[in-house]
Amino acid sequence: MVISEPFEVEFDEGRHHRAKIGFVLLATEQTIEDDMYHLLPDGIGIHFTRTPIPDSITAETLTDLADSLGDAAALLLPDGSLDVITYGCTSGSLVVGEDRVFKELNSGAPSALTTSLITSVLRALAVIDAKRVVVATPYLDEINQMEKEYMEARGFEVLNIQGLNLEKDSDMVRVTPQSLLRFAESLDQPDADAIFISCGALRSIDIIEELERRTGKPVITSNQAMAWDVLRLAGIEDRVEGYGVLLREY
């Protein structure tokens, strides 16, 4: 009988050696995953989980899912190696409120830094020094009003906020980038510092560069802001071309 020597296993830092980012998404979400693979650089681990919600984006349905955020977060990398976790829903994070979102995410991923999509947007607007904004959304009026009040309570002046009056996430994901471009451009005002396109379901990263070119103003979109925020929280300072001034210069 031949007794072989124990095999010496070699380890390295793994494929995601730069950072590991977790995203808690709505069950209905169809855009964020693709966008993050476009926006985040190589060496970044991108990990997704979902929380239940019907195909109906209202204040009631967004509030009802708050209790499930912690359970969803706990499904991501239970070895504790997650660096940052975010709740990837603009309207959901403002309806529930950032403090509650952070608490729930921390309950499931206690070692990760927490953020949310509305947090990312507010940080992005602050870093580009935009105080007066116009906001384009796909939402119902009840959510638009809540978003306006939320942003104003944090020191921003919302000059105009208009929605497409869509309730279903499955409709929001089908809004064409070109119609979104026309819609967002139509809301611009001379005294606006920036244009914000709200909602992770919209394919808004496709039109950032063109909208900035047409208006001469910075454009912040939900998924662009989220990518920028989670990278910076993770200590990644890479600049990303092709998606507006935020990722290119900040």
Domains and CATH numbers, the chain: 19-117+225-249 (3.40.50.12500), 120-221 (3.40.50.1860)
In 3D, which of 111, 106, 85, 104 has the Cα closest to residue 23?
Answer: 85
H/E segment holding residue 137: strand 132-137
Give the model's pLDDT for residue 142.
96
Whole-prediction pTM value?
A: 0.95
Question: Could you tell me the CA-to-CA distances from 142 to 10, 29, 139, 175, 211 in Å, in that order?
Answer: 56, 20, 8, 20, 27
Interior CA angle at 70 toward 65 and 75, to 5°? 115
User: Tokens 């001034």 label which residue?
Assistant: 245
Give the model's pLDDT for residue 24.
98
pLDDT averaged over 10-residue windows placed end to end, the chain, 250 residues: 76 91 98 97 97 96 96 96 97 96 97 98 98 98 97 98 97 98 98 98 98 98 98 97 97
Give the model's pLDDT for residue 5.
77
Give the model's pLDDT for residue 2.
62
Give the model's pLDDT for residue 12.
87
Give the model's pLDDT for residue 61.
96
Give the model's pLDDT for residue 3.
62
Residue 227 and residue 20: Cα distance in Å, rounded?
A: 13
In 3D, which of 239, 244, 240, 247 has the Cα closest to residue 214?
Answer: 244
Cα 233–chain centre separation: 13
3-state secondary structure of 2: coil
